[in-house]
Amino acid sequence: MKTKLFLLIAASLIILACGKKESKITTAQKVKPTVKQKIIGMSQCNLGEPWRVQMNEDIKLAAAKHPELKVIYKDAQNDSLKQVAQIEEFISAGVDAIIVSPKEAAPLTPVIKTAFEKGIPVVVLDRRVNGDKYTCFIGADNKKIGKAAGEWIVKKLGGNGNIVELKGLMTSTPGQDRHSGFRAGIKGSNLKIIFEADMKWLEPQARKEMESALARFKNIDLVYAHNDPGAHGAYLAAKAAGREKEMIFVGIDGLPQEGRMYVKQGILAASFEYPTGGKEAVDTVVDIFGGKKPEKEITLKSHVFTKDNVDKGGKWL
Ligand code: FRU
């Protein structure tokens, strides 16, 4: 009898305990539904220039609106091999998506293809890879920007003059496109490219190349640099030689705290905007997580900033 009573009490206690636990979970779920955290691996080719710092900042701001997202940032410090290794790490860690702004097209193509073929969504930002083994490419149209810069320069110089072209890293696609676009833009004019060099997107390198150009050429009318740090480096070289007033400087990027500021200060005659695409990359990844198939290519629009329009927000290309 005693054993029966004991068993009955024990059984009721177990049932009660189970019931309580269940109801606890149900209440908790009602109050705060459990959202699965999604991990995005972000590989930035370097953080040496303000433009790339801004890209990461734009990603952070956009991701902060989605509490379920966690972004892991890696800086490849301008080293393609390091960047390949970072993406390999993301693949083995099993991240839910990758955002990558590749340093160079060729070395990054195979590892991005591997990630994509393993089913990890990959958003390629700003610089392209070869082929089409990625989920989505986001960037502004560098050929269009280069061409618009060329046409603007032809007009500004009345079709005549000596030009120095300081190119971005020519193993990266924006350098190639800003070059070919520019050449298309000046076609048929009497502008002469008297000096061209690859300054690899770097201000100190641009300054060094400009020193050589200044040493070789007495008459330089304009410097077209593929980015604003390059144009600023050229300006500093010309200033150090006391020749900055003999020529004008044109750059690309148009960040408020960099190119647009130089335009306001009269250091650059024009800066062409190159938006970072950080926000659009996060929006695209969120769409993918939500089951949407993104466009293969998202093209961002650009402004041109000159002294006359910079305070009014520039002019659309
Ligand atoms: C920064 C940068 C920008 C340029 C972009 C091109 O590293 O050089 O100035 O617009 O990369 O990819």
pLDDT of residue 36: 86
Q: State mean pLDDT over 101-112.
A: 98
The rounded Å distance from CA 310 to ligand 1 centre is: 21
> For position 68, which CATH number holds?
3.40.50.2300
Best residue for ligand 1 mutational test, from 44, 54, 137, 274 (most atoms within 8 Å of Cβ):
274
Q: Lowest-pLDDT range, 20-29, 65-74, 158-167?
A: 20-29
Q: Note whether 251 and 151 are same-domain residues.
A: yes
pLDDT digits (tens, 9 = 90+) for 75-104: 999 999 999 999 999 999 999 999 999 999
For 86, 166, 228, 266, the CA distances from 150, given in Å and listed in that order, are: 37, 13, 16, 20
pLDDT at position 33 is: 56
Q: Are residues 295 and 246 in the same domain?
A: no
Residues 135, 281: one domain? yes
Residues 61 and 185 in one domain: no
Q: Average pLDDT, stretch 127-155?
A: 98
Regarding whether 266 and 131 lie in a shared domain, the answer is no
Among 44, 57, 78, 126, the mutation site with the greatest number of ligand 1 atoms within 8 A of its Cβ is: 126
Of all atoms in ligand 1, which is nearest to the CA of residue 230?
A: 9
Ligand 1 atom showing the smallest separation from residue 168 Cα: 8
Is the residue at 7 inside a domain? no
b/e map of 219-242 (b: 16 or more CB within 10 Å)?
ebbbbbbbbbbbbbbbbbbbeeee
Instruction: Say if ligand 1 is within 6 A of residue 127 CB.
Output: yes
135 lines ligand 1 (CB under 6 A): no
Mean pLDDT of the chain: 92
Q: How confident is the model at residue 35 (pLDDT cuts 50, 70, 90)?
A: confident
Could you tell me the pLDDT band of residue 4, with boundaries at 50, 70 and 90? low
- 312 & 187 share domain: yes
DSSP output for 181-240 = HHHHHHTTSEEEEEEEEE-TT-HHHHHHHHHHHHHH-S---EEEESSHHHHHHHHHHHHH
Q: Which domain holds residue 293?
A: 38-140+276-300
Q: Is the CB of 51 within 6 Å of ligand 1?
A: yes
Do 157 and 115 lie in one domain? The reply is no
Is pLDDT above 50 for 280? yes
Distance 106 CA to ligand 1 centre (A): 17
Using most ligand atoms within 8 A of CB, pick from 101, 145, 171, 253 the residue to mutate for ligand 1. Answer: 253
CB 49 near ligand 1, within 6 Å: yes
Structural domains in the chain (count): 2
Q: Which of 23-37, 38-52, 172-186 has the lowest mean pLDDT?
A: 23-37
> Using one digit for the tens of pLDDT, what is the confidence trace for 220-255?
999 999 999 999 999 999 999 999 999 999 999 999
Whether the pLDDT of residue 3 is over 70: the answer is no
**Which residue's CA lies nearest to atom 6 of ligand 1?**
174
Q: What is the rounded average pLDDT of the residues 143-157? A: 98
Task: Encode pLDDT of 299-311 as tens digits.
Answer: 999 999 999 999 9
Give the span between the Cα atoms of 113 and 190, in whole angstroms: 44
- Indicate if 80 and 104 belong to the same structural domain: yes
Q: Which residue has the higher pLDDT, 32 or 316?
A: 316
